[in-house]
Amino acid sequence: MEHTHISLAHGNGGHFMRELIDDLFARHLSNDILNTSTDAATLPVINGEPVMTTDGFTVKPLEFPGGNIGSLAVHGTVNDLAVAGATPLYLSLNAFIEEGLEISLLDRLIQSLADAAREANVRVVTGDTKVVPHGEGSGLYLATTGIGVRATRQALGMHHIRPGDLVLVSGPVGDHGTAVMLAREQFGLRGDLQSDSASVLPLTQALLPLPGLRFMRDPTRGGLASVMHEIRLATGHGIRLQQASIPIHDPVSVVCEMLGYDPLYLACEGRVVAILSEEDSEAALAAWRELPRGNAAAIIGEITTDQPHIVLQTPLGGTRILEELEDDPLPRIC
C-alpha cells in the first residue's frame, strides 16, 4: 500500500478501502469462507444448537504485555461461547479505525487477531471497516460476533445453582486488568506481569462431561466479584469466598495495594469461574489442574443459604462484604 497512515479515504467505499481490506485484513484472515467481494458469508450447515454472542473492545493502550486489542477481540468472544458450553466456529469483525493510525500498527494488531483465531480454531468469515476522523476513536475499536455450536445436552445456567454448590476459579485473577494498567504511561510503573488473555476453550471443555456442572463465566469487566454479584442477583443466594484460597499473582497484589485497587474487581481475559455440585468439584479441580492454563485452579467458596451477600472470609477468621461495583475501578481494560 502506498500509505503509511490511515486516511478518511480508506473508509469511503472506493479503491483505498478495497486495498486496505484486501492487502491487510484479508491477507491475514484468509480462509475458505471469507470472501471480501461479497457482503455476506455463506456458512456450512450447523449441526446442533447455534449459539451467538458479541463483544466490543476499546482497550487502551492498543498493545499491552501478553496481548493486544486484536488477540483480545478473539479471546473475548470465543470465551463467551466457551463458557456457554459451545464450540466456537465463526467470527464477524468490525473495525472502527481512527484517521491517522499507523498502518504498520494496524497490521500487527490484525495479524495477532488472525493468530488468535487460528489457535482457537475459529474463522473470521465477514467483516466491515469504518474510518472515523482524527481525534475520535482512540486508534481502534473492534467488535466481534461469534457463532458456535452446542450439543443439546445438559443446559448450563445460573438457575441450576443450589446452596452447597462450590465456586471454582481456573487461575489467578486480575492479571489482565493489572497488566493493561501498568502498560499505561500515566502510572509510571513497569513490571513483567502479562495479561492472561487466552482462549478458555480447553478449560470449559474439560468440565462439560461433569453432570454436576451448573454454570461457567469468564470474569472480565468487573472481575470475579461482579460475577459473584450476578449470581447473587439471579439466584437470591449468598456466596462465601475464602480469601486465602483465591489465587492472585504476587505482582498483582503488590500493584493493587500500592494503587488502592481490589484485584477481585479487576478483569481477567483467560480465566473461568465455574459453579459445580460439591460431589463433582474435586473432579473439576483435577481436570483443570492437568491443563497448562489451569495448574493454579482452586476451589474458592460456596453458595450459601445465608443473607444474599458476597462474603469474603479472611485468613484471620474475620469477614468482609464485597459490595457491588459502583465507580469504575479501571476504565478501558477490554
Which cell goes with 145?
Answer: 460476533
**Whose Cβ is closer to a second copy: residue 5's or residue 289's?**
5
Which cell goes with 226?
Answer: 461482579
Task: Give CA–CA dist 90/231, Å, rounded.
Answer: 29
Determine the distance from the C-alpha atom of residue 262 to the mean position of all C-alpha atoms in its chain, rounded to a whole number: 19
Task: Give CA–CA dist 228/148, Å, rounded.
Answer: 26
**Whose Cβ is closer to a second copy: residue 49's or residue 278's?**
49
Phi, psi of 144 (to 5 degrees): -125, 140
**Whose Cβ is closer to a second copy: residue 58's or residue 277's?**
58
| Min separation Cβ 229 and a second copy, Å | 8
| Min separation Cβ 279 and a second copy, Å | 25
**Whose Cβ is closer to a second copy: residue 128's or residue 279's?**
128
**Whose Cβ is closer to a second copy: residue 67's or residue 219's?**
219
Provide the 10 A C-beta neighbour count for residue 306. 12
Task: Give CA–CA dist 164/239, Å, rounded.
Answer: 10
**Whose Cβ is closer to a second copy: residue 8's or residue 254's?**
8
| Min separation Cβ 167 and a second copy, Å | 17
Q: Which of 165, 161, 190, 170 is nearest to 178 (CA)?
A: 190
Task: Give CA–CA dist 107/24, Å, rounded.
Answer: 6
**Whose Cβ is closer to a second copy: residue 221's or residue 240's?**
221
End-to-end CA distance of the chain: 30
**Whose Cβ is closer to a second copy: residue 87's or residue 285's?**
87
Question: Is the link from the previous residue into 315 a cis peptide, with omega within 30 of 0?
Answer: no
| Min separation Cβ 295 and a second copy, Å | 26
User: Is 159:235 a contact under the CB 8 Å cutoff?
Assistant: yes
Q: Are strands 140-150 and 213-217 parallel, antiparallel or unpaired?
A: unpaired
| Min separation Cβ 202 and a second copy, Å | 18
| Min separation Cβ 137 and a second copy, Å | 6
Q: Looking only at Cα atoms, what is the longest distance across the chain?
A: 67
Q: Which of 294, 178, 309 is nearest to 235 (CA)?
A: 309
| Min separation Cβ 282 and a second copy, Å | 27
| Min separation Cβ 200 and a second copy, Å | 12
